[in-house]
Amino acid sequence: MLSSCGGSSSSFEGDVKKMADYRCKKQLLQAKDPGDEKAKKELEDLEKEMDAFGDKMRKKYEEKKDDKDMEAKAEKILKEVMEKCK
């Protein structure tokens, strides 16, 4: 039933993990010295990538946005990735 949009559960999990990885990288870049110009540039580039990927995910999973099971699975994946983010 949930694979009708061309996306399977594993595709969804992969997308959520990718977004979680983006969030981890963002957190690590934000923790760097505010005067670090290279880190600022990396952060700007990362935020653009995150926005583009977020838009893509919203469109891809629009029909499933009220699916509580998928939300719970996404939260679990995000939490697991962020706990390892160091």
pLDDT, tens digit (0-9, with 9 covering 90-100), for 63-79: 888 889 989 999 999 99
For the chain, the domains span 37-86
Give the pLDDT band (50/70/90) at residue 1.
Answer: very low
pTM recorded for the entire structure: 0.81
| CA–CA gap between residue 4 and residue 38 (Å, rounded) | 43
Residue 70 CB burial class (10 angstroms; 0-12, 13-18, ≥19): middle
pLDDT value for 8: 57
